[in-house]
Amino acid sequence: MPELRVVSPPSPDVPGQASDLVGSLRTYFEGGSTKPLAWRLSQMDALEHLLRERERDILAALRADLGKPETEAYSSEIGMIHSEIRLVRRKLASWMKPERVRTPLVAMPGRSYVHREPLGVTLIIAPWNYPFQTAVLPLVGALAAGNCVVLKPSEVAARTSALLAKWIPKYLDTKAVRVVEGGVPETTALLRENWDHIFYTGNARVGRIVMEAASKHLTPVTLELGGKSPCIVDDTADLDTAAKRIVHGKFFNAGQTCVAPDYVLVHERIHDALLNRMVGTVREFYGDDPKQSPDFARIINARHHARLAGLLEGADVATGGQTDLERLYVAPTILKNVRPEDAVMAEEIFGPILPVIAVPSLDAAIAFVNRREKPLALYCFSTSKAAQDRVLRNTTAGDTTINHVWMHLGVPEIPFGGVGESGTGAYHGRHSFETFSHRRGVLKKPTLPDPPLMFPPYSARKLRWIKRLL
């Protein structure tokens, strides 16, 4: 097993191996320190301080890893966490209260409850595209629910990983939260351990590895995966609004967003009009040379740059198409005349390339979507309620925003997660708290009365009564 780089104040009781690490967290968890409301809120305060006091460092790390413009970095990586912490502060006490549920006649007299208990020692594995938020947002949920956590940031976003490793131990309770940096060997070592929950965000290939490892200990998993999220534009859509929102949602973070619209299916009657408006919007947002724009991010590394450049080979480019490996730049690109069998339609693009496909009808768009894996998100631009309803009724997706893209992430009451190939489980807001809690059913009965109805010796009369009750 490789030596784990466990980041915490150096102390003799923080051994470097995965099993010792889990063992020490488990001992702390069993001591009960993480269960009280006061401890959970203290961790929220600590995270809030980290966000405020280290904001410049976080923005600098995100700029170094992905060239993230400050507005994008703040809104999607820091602001979202502030909102989540505020919600937890307001609601946690009520979420933690045992929930009284109805007791049926057969269990009377008695009172029934659902208690939310922390699961125990949990593992959070994060990806590189929103390297801060995808690590810290689940951490908020795990701590709000009273768990211990090992956080494994993505080694691919090295600056943000180092930042998390440096600052989390300086703010949070190090007996409950550890950061382990590293790549495949370190994650593999961690995955051998017996966790009470594994929360993984990343691609489906590794999702399968995580699920297989978890199955050895029957550990429950949340898998926040990706895939090709379609964007349907019907012939009643408001084209100016659609063009702006699609272009912004696609090229935010240079398209490296799990819920970015992966491709557009547009009614053939408005295809040219939408395409022209989107091309115009790209120029409006990023100027004549988007490489000079301070508002456009960079590709994470050379491997992904090469992958994206490969998708552009032989493509029919409506705008963009330029690449610069040295500066990890791929221009915001819109492709036209795309065929379903083209390479760009085979896998999640995860970069600033937007294929646009004309379809003869809404039903054709729906059929196109349904021939593919269940997406993480599906978007529909239409002013027709009937068309919106038809799309909702006849497709499935992790989540959907109508007449916008990925704004559902801003609604904490919406469970954020995938379905099928795009993931299992969900989080955000109360859903995070639920994901990291065990719902324990509790029935409290008085000792008397104690009717003999259920007890032997059985009789026809007792059975008649039981049949009436059940």
Instruction: Measure the CA–CA gap between 149 and 122, rounded to whole angstroms.
Output: 5
Within 10 Å of residue 294's Cβ, how many Cβ atoms?
10
Helix (H, G, I), strand (E, B) or coil at 83: helix
By CB under 6 A, the residues from 135 to 154 that bind ligand NAD are: 152, 154
Among the listed residues 276, 268, 273, 278, the one whose alpha carbon sits nearest the alpha carbon of residue 364:
268
Residue 188 interacting with ligand NAD (CB under 6 A): yes
Smallest distance, Å, CB 205 to ligand NAD?
8
> Distances in Å between the alpha carbon of 257 and those of 170, 241, 254?
30, 21, 8
Q: Which stretch binds ligand NAD (CB under 6 A): 5-13, 122-130, 237-245, 456-464?
A: 122-130
Instruction: Measure the CA–CA gap between 467 and 427, rounded to whole angstroms.
Output: 42
Residue 222 interacting with ligand NAD (CB under 6 A): no
Residue 187 interacting with ligand NAD (CB under 6 A): yes
**84, 258, 421, 434: the active-site residue:** 258
Among the listed residues 424, 89, 45, 453, the one whose alpha carbon sits nearest the alpha carbon of residue 227:
424
Residue 176 interacting with ligand NAD (CB under 6 A): no
* Residue in 32, 98, 183, 410 binding ligand NAD, rule: CB under 6 A: 183
SS3 per-residue string spanning 147-215: CEEEEECCCCCHHHHHHHHHHHHHHCCCCCEEEEECCHHHHHHHHCCCCCEEEEECCHHHHHHHHHHHH
Smallest distance, Å, CB 149 to ligand NAD?
14
Q: Which amino acid, one-letter code, is at 332?
A: P
Q: Which stretch binds ligand NAD (CB under 6 A): 50-58, 73-81, 202-210, 333-341?
A: 202-210
Rank residues 83 and 459 by Cβ distance to ligand NAD and give the closer one: 83
* Residue in 127, 146, 290, 429 binding ligand NAD, rule: CB under 6 A: 127
Residue with tokens 């590895």: 209
Residue 156 interacting with ligand NAD (CB under 6 A): yes
By CB under 6 A, the residues from 257 to 276 that bind ligand NAD are: 258
C-alpha atoms less than 13 angstroms from C-alpha of 442 in its C-beta half-sphere: 13
Residue nearest to ligand NAD (CB): 226
Residue 348 interacting with ligand NAD (CB under 6 A): yes
Does residue 224 carry a catalytic annotation? yes
**Number of helices (H), then strands (E), in the chain:** 16, 19
Locate 459 and state its tokens: 């009789």
* Residue in 80, 331, 376, 405 binding ligand NAD, rule: CB under 6 A: 376
Would you please indicate which residues are annotated as catalytic (active-site) residues? Answer: 224, 258
Q: Which residues bind ligand NAD (CB under 6 A)?
A: 125-130, 134, 152, 154-156, 183-184, 187-188, 201-203, 206, 209, 224-226, 258, 348, 350, 376, 418, 423
